[in-house]
Amino acid sequence: MGESTDKKIEEIMRSLLLIAVFMFSLSLSAQDTVRYIGKTLSNVDYHHGQLSPAIGVHNIQTLRANRADKNETSSWTYNHAPMLAYWNNQFYLEYLSNPVGEHVAPGQTLLQISTNGYQWTEPVVIFPPYKIPDGFVKEGKKDTARNSFAVMHQRIGFYTSKANKLYALGYYGICLVKGDDPNDGNGIGRVIREIKTDGSFGPIFFLRYNHSFNEKNTSYPFYKSSGDAALISACEEFLSNPLLMMQTVEEGDRNDPLIPLQKDFKAFNYYRLPNKNIVGLWKYALTSISKDGGKTWPMNPTRAPGFVNANAKIWGQQTSDGKFATVYNPSEFRWPLALSVSDDGLKYKNLLLVNGEISSMRYGGAYKSYGPQYVRGIQEMDGKPADKNMWVTYSMNKEDIWISRIPVPVKDKETRHLNDDFSLNPLCMQSWNIFSPLWCKVETFNQSLQLSDQDPYDYAKAERLFPESKKVKVEFAFTAGQQDHGTLEIELTDGKGMPCLRIMLDSTGSILTKQGYRNKSLGKYKANEKMVVTIELNTASRFYTVSLNGSKPANNICFAPVASVERIVFRTGSIRHFPDAETPTDQSYDLFNTEVPVKNARYSIHYLKTKTLP
CA-to-CA distance for 593 and 610, rounded, in angstroms? 41
CA-to-CA distance for 409 and 406, rounded, in angstroms? 9
pLDDT of residue 72: 75
* Interval 356-411: pLDDT, tens: 999 999 999 999 999 999 999 999 999 999 999 999 999 999 999 999 999 999 99
> What pTM was estimated for this model as a whole?
0.94
Helix/strand/coil (H/E/C) assignment for every residue in 184-233: CCCCCEEEEEEECCCCCECCCEEEEECCCCCCCCCCCCEHHHCCCHHHHH
- Mean of the per-residue pLDDT values for the chain? 94
Least confident of 62-66, 79-83, 177-181, 543-547: 177-181
pLDDT of residue 73: 79
CA-to-CA distance for 125 and 78, rounded, in angstroms? 15
**Is residue 14 over pLDDT 60?**
no
Strands 565-571 vs 461-469: parallel, antiparallel or unpaired: antiparallel
Strands 433-436 vs 58-63: parallel, antiparallel or unpaired: parallel
**Is residue 18 over pLDDT 60?**
no
> By C-alpha distance, which of 418, 412, 403 is closest to 350?
412
The 10 Å Cβ neighbour count of residue 20 is 10
Residue 452 identity (one-letter amino acid):
S
CB 330 within 8 A of CB 337: no
* Interval 221-237: pLDDT, tens: 999 999 999 999 999 99
- Dihedral, 290, 307, 103, 156 alpha carbons, nearest 10: -40
pLDDT of residue 262: 87
CA-to-CA distance for 206 and 193, rounded, in angstroms? 9
DSSP letters for 424-490: T-GGGGGGSEEEE-TTS-EEE-SSSEEEEE--SS---EEEEEEEEESEEEEEEEEEES-SSS--EEE
CB 170 within 8 A of CB 153: no
**Is residue 539 over pLDDT 70?**
yes
Domain boundaries, the chain: 50-406, 419-612
pLDDT of residue 30: 46
**Is residue 245 over pLDDT 60?**
yes
Helix/strand/coil (H/E/C) assignment for every residue in 461-476: EEEEEEEEECEEEEEE
> Is the fold of 50-406 the same as that of 419-612?
no
Helix/strand/coil (H/E/C) assignment for every residue in 150-179: CEECCCCCEEECCCCCEEEEEEEECCCCCC
Average pLDDT over every residue of 148-163:
98
Q: Give, in order, the Cα–Cα distances in Å from 577 to each of 44, 185, 400.
A: 11, 40, 19
The 10 Å Cβ neighbour count of residue 489 is 21
41 CB-side CA count, 13 A = 9
Cα 275 to chain centroid, rounded:
29
> By C-alpha distance, which of 275, 167, 273 is closest to 228?
167
CATH number attached to the domain at 50-406: 2.120.10.10
At the top level of CATH, the class of 419-612 is mainly beta
Alpha helical stretches, state H, 49-194: 72-75
